[in-house]
Amino acid sequence: MKLLISNDDGIFAKGIQSLANGLAAVGHEVIVVCPERERSATGHGLTLHQPIRAEIVKSIFDDAVTAWACSGTPADCVKLALFALLESKPDLVLSGINHGPNLGTDILYSGTVSAAMEGFVDNIPSIAFSLGSYTSMDFEAAVNFAQSLVQKIENQPLAHVMLLNVNIPAVKPTEIAGVKVTRQGIRRYIDLFEKRVDPRGQTYYWLAGEVQEDVEEINDQHIVERLPTDAQAIREKYITITPLQYNFTYGRHLGYLQKWKIDNFRE
């Protein structure tokens, strides 16, 4: 298969090197287009007010991998690859392997998920891969699962174009409990802005925070209710697969809003 791979940790990150080399090693055509530096938590931002530059890089990846370093965001990288750098459309767009999980509401900020989402927006099946640790450098289990999942999709194509958000627990392969299809949970953070003063006496702020709790969401779709959340399943050492979409319409409350008397706004 022809695979386009991006990330938000930058071209020197071990996660993307492990993913690209691992998939090339089992016979896939791999093209990497990713940020030249870390662009974590950039969401789906695009570069509109300055040029985007991309250069072919050598020696970072195996010889079978074609790699570009891009000055833009993760979403820029995928968009540039699809509409400027590649001669033909890839079969899959992959993102990661991210250094750290992307669970629950993390996906709203995640550059990793946004890179994959850009492929999905352009009607290409896409997968975002994340390792559930910011410090672990052991990507063996994540690469093995990525190889298996891509092979499964090659042999049994998805019935519908979709984006799969995959999180792999940061444990030894023998400790992984299995694979679960999950729903997106909700994570709440304690956001802290540390106030500092630079050498010129100017005040600046540094955002820090940590997960406070994983919140159970109430959902009226029975099939969804029976599924565990991604955060819950990964705590139990399961690999999680969550299908995502970019339609944010809150369908459950459309009927409620239609009952509003909003046609008399001039009164």
The model's confidence at residue 130, banded by pLDDT at 50, 70 and 90, is: very high
238: part of which helix (H) or strand (E)? strand 238-244
- Give 211's pLDDT tier (boundaries 50, 70, 90): low
- With CA atoms as reference, report the closest residue to 182 among 162, 161, 171, 167: 167
Q: Which of 21-35, 108-122, 214-228 has the lowest mean pLDDT?
A: 214-228
> Contact, 46 vs 74, CB < 8 A?
no
Rg over CA atoms, the chain? 20
Partners of 92 in the β-ladder: 3
pLDDT digits (tens, 9 = 90+) for 196-205: 899 999 998 8
pLDDT for the residue 190: 66
The reported pLDDT for the residue numbered 186 is 80
Percent of the chain with pLDDT over 90: 73
Distance CA 60, CA 2 (A): 20
Q: Give the model confidence (pLDDT) of 24-75 as tens digits.
A: 999 999 999 999 999 988 899 999 999 999 999 998 999 999 999 999 999 9
Domain ranges of the chain: 2-183+220-254, 187-215
Class of domain 2-183+220-254: alpha beta
Query: Which of 219 and 208 is assigned the larger pLDDT?
Result: 208
pLDDT of residue 263: 67
Q: What's the CA gap between 68 and 157, in Å, rounded?
A: 28
d(CA 267, CA 253): 25
Amino acid, single-letter form, for residue 90 = P
Element (H, E) at 130: strand 126-131
